[in-house]
C-alpha cells in the first residue's frame, strides 16, 4: 500500500485550472503561512520570495486564487480585505475592535446548519459569514490595566 503524498502548490494550481507561475506559488504559500493578511503584507511576502511584483499583479492573482476556491477573502466592515488559506469549510471570524486582529472560529451550530437562514427569500444559500466583534485578550487586558491605573 502506497501512502499518498500531499499535492504540491503547483499541482493545486493546475488542478484548479490556473497557470502555474512563481508568483502564484509564492502568493498561495504566503496566504497559507500568514494569518488573515492584507494585500500589502502578502505582496511583501511574495517579493521576499520571487523579487519584484506589482501590487496590481498581486490583486489579479488573489482574484484568480479566490475565484478558484484556493483562497478565501474576508472583508470586515471598515477594514481592507484580508485573505486566508482556510477554505472548504463554513467557519467564521472573531475581530478585535481595538487592534483589528482576526481569529478563526468554527461554525456555532455545527458543520452546515448555520447555512440555513430563517427565511432565505428564495436565495440558494451556499455560504454564511458571521463576524463576532469584541476585544482580543491582549487589548482587553490593556484596557483593564489602563482603567485600573486611573
96 is an annotated ligand-binding site residue: yes
Tell me if 135 sits within 8 A of 97, measured CB to CB: yes
| 92-96 and 131-134 strand pairing | parallel
99 is an annotated ligand-binding site residue: yes
Read off the C-alpha cell for 100: 483589528
Tell me if 141 sits within 8 A of 149, measured CB to CB: no
Read off the C-alpha cell for 137: 485578550
Read off the C-alpha cell for 106: 468554527
Residues in binding site for Zn(2+): 96, 99, 136, 139
Binding positions: 96, 99, 136, 139
Amino acid at each position: 500500500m502506497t501512502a499518498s503524498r500531499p499535492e504540491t502548490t503547483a499541482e493545486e494550481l493546475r488542478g484548479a485550472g490556473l497557470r502555474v507561475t512563481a508568483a502564484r506559488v509564492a502568493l498561495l504559500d504566503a496566504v497559507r503561512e500568514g494569518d488573515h493578511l492584507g494585500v500589502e503584507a502578502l505582496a511583501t511576502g511574495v517579493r521576499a520570495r520571487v523579487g519584484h511584483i506589482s501590487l496590481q499583479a498581486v490583486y489579479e492573482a488573489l482574484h484568480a486564487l479566490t475565484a478558484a476556491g484556493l483562497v478565501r477573502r474576508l472583508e470586515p466592515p471598515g477594514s481592507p480585505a484580508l485573505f486566508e488559506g482556510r477554505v472548504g469549510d463554513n467557519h467564521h471570524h472573531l475581530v478585535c475592535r481595538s487592534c483589528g486582529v482576526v481569529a478563526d472560529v468554527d461554525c456555532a451550530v455545527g458543520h452546515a446548519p448555520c447555512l440555513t437562514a430563517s427565511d432565505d427569500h428564495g436565495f440558494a444559500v451556499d455560504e454564511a459569514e458571521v463576524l463576532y466583534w469584541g476585544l482580543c485578550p491582549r487589548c482587553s487586558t490593556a484596557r483593564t490595566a489602563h482603567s485600573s491605573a486611573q
